[in-house]
Chains A and B, each alone.
Chain A
Amino acid sequence: MPSYIELPAYEIVKRIKDQELMAEDYIASLYERIKKVEKDIHAYITLTEDLALKKAREIDKKVKQREKTGRLCGVGIAIKDNICTRGIRTTCASHMLEDFVPPYDATVISRIKDEDGVIMGKANMDEFAMGSSTEFSYFGPTHNPWDLGRVPGGSSGGSAAAVASGMATLALGSDTGGSIRCPASFCSVVGLKPTYGLVSRFGLIAYANSLEQIGPITKDVRDCALLLSCIASHDPLDNTSVDRPQEDYTKYLIDDVDGMKLGVVKEFFGEGTQDSVEKGVLEAITKLEELGSDHQEISLKSLQYALPSYYIIAMSEASSNLARYDGLRYGYRIPNKSYDWSTVYSKNRRFGFGFEVKRRIILGTFALSTGYYDEYYLKAQKIRTLIKRDFDMAFKKFDVLIGPTMPILPFKIGEKVQDPLKMYMCDVDSVPANLAGIPSISIPCGFSKGLPIGFQIMAPPFREDLLLRVAFSFQKNFPVSAKLRSYE
């Protein structure tokens, strides 16, 4: 196995730019790896080998002719399949969009192309990003690279599994209630949900627009800062994109947490948190203290209501967003021609959507309907205010807040898929950041019985610099060794 499939992106970029490594050879080696392990892991829905190799050859030519090359020069990237890629089918892991080929690129895709990144393929996910295990994909589940009988987390499970198993060097995911951080934690990679409004959502197939953000899934913190620097920019095509100066986040990779104040959120260690996870995260906090930071416990009372509030809001927004799938203009349409309008529409949606998507649309429609709006949707949005206020209060005392990313270790495939409520409970620690719109990063902090543990760091809005600094310091001083498996 050539070793460069294990290298982080910044090393790959350097070698390609210095002409020590041909982009074509490196990209070809990633596809070699895919041919070996994809049958066991199933991280991709669509592979784009010919396009990727062509792009790699173009980059090699540019390098040779000493033309200017981008910050992602030649790096192979997996793209979650809810991010539109022009000319490459984008399914959202749904039968509804099985044959959908977008006529345009999402803004993040244009940015990656501008920086000479190479798209490896479209990564598996829960249908319409609704799920925490990638089992709700129309194309079948992704398997956890560390234990093939277990889930990789979700909904960006394909993206995280591809990075963890050496089938991509970088990946993009999206995070509505933890969908980047959960699989990052379960697969022992780094995942960052940016501040709401930092990264353009133009071309991201919407699930719950007031909550979601696109973000990086990477092997290490330096790569995370690199990819974030490339995708974070103001975009006039997304009205919720915030107009701020562009930043080079790699300048915040500082190995120094001396004197920083860490708040350990009590509610993140609540009922349902496995002992091994709690132990792993508390050890990580002790290690950060060894580096000179201070920690104190803090209780944010409103967080006990975060999960139900999140699901009410997400389902409500989903019911509205997914109304566009009528199967007439694009998407799945039943072949029968004799039905009337409403019947065709209802049947397209019956056969086009999976169970979880239907459950959420129906409950969301219910929560928004007359007579129930006040007690569900409006109430949840008010609790969201309380959660925001609690975070504002906490950030007056602390630089960053810390807790487990997931309350549990990666679970077995099939364990929770029949019981939606059990599946939702997995998101208890990740949804608060989405409700408050604050940034959060999940980084690996160890293993328990061979299964990865991750912890998350949260900061005030637009303080990704603090997340990267703490995460970088931890990773530099206490690296979690995670060797690629051969699966042979």
Chain B
Amino acid sequence: MVTILVERKKTISKEQIESIAWLARIEISKKELELFSKQLNDILAYFSKIDEVNTKSIPPSYHVLDLVNVLRKDEVKPSLSKDIFQIVPQTKGKFVKAPRMA
């Protein structure tokens, strides 16, 4: 019996890049789209190297430490002062000024 392995080609289309960029809230220009399309596909082609590894029964390591549920005591500590508003680009009174919702 012959098993034919059809490798799923891992590519990312321009439409996909545009849609992902929108999800990530990054507007991209036509020029960037052209550039990224080539570069991102090269990178994805390289990433497909990991397909060689059988990881079926291997658990993921999201973290290298064994720490679980690290909590702090519920104590009042000094917090940031109102000066923090100095870093806000646009304010109105004591509020952060945001654009209107669509």
Contacts and interface: CB of A to CB of B under 8 A. Distances in A.
Interface of A: 100-101, 103-104, 196-197, 210, 236, 239-240, 242, 302, 304-305, 308-309, 311-312, 319, 323, 326-333, 337, 339-347, 349-350, 353, 355, 358-359, 361-363, 365-366, 369, 375-376, 378-386, 388, 419-421, 424, 436-437, 461
Contacts of B58: 382-383, 385-386
Given A340-B100, A379-B50, A349 B26 contact: yes
A340 B89 contact: no
Contacts, number: 173
B5 interface: no
Contact of B88 (A330, A366, A369, A376): A330
Given A103-B87, A305-B50, A376-B47, A341 B20 contact: no
5 nearest A-B residue pairs (beta carbon): A437-B64, A381-B60, A382-B55, A333-B89, A350-B27
Contacts of B51: 375, 379
Interface residues of B, number: 55
Given A100-B87, A236-B72, A239-B67, A342 B102 contact: yes
B50 A341 contact: no
B31 to A, nearest CB: 11
Contacts of A369: 20, 23
Contact of B50 (A309, A363, A420): A309
Nearest to B97: A328
A103 B96 CA distance: 17
A359 to B, nearest CB: 6
Contacts of B64: 196-197, 210, 388, 436-437, 461
Nearest to A350: B27
Given A381-B61, A382-B60, A383-B53, A358 B26 contact: yes
Interface in B79-101: 80-81, 83-84, 86-90, 96, 98-101
Given A362-B17, A369-B20, A346 B25 contact: yes
B70 interface: yes
Contact of B70 (A210, A239, A437): A239
Contact of B63 (A210, A358, A424): A210
A382 B51 CA distance: 12
Given A242-B65, A362-B36, A376-B47, A350 B28 contact: yes
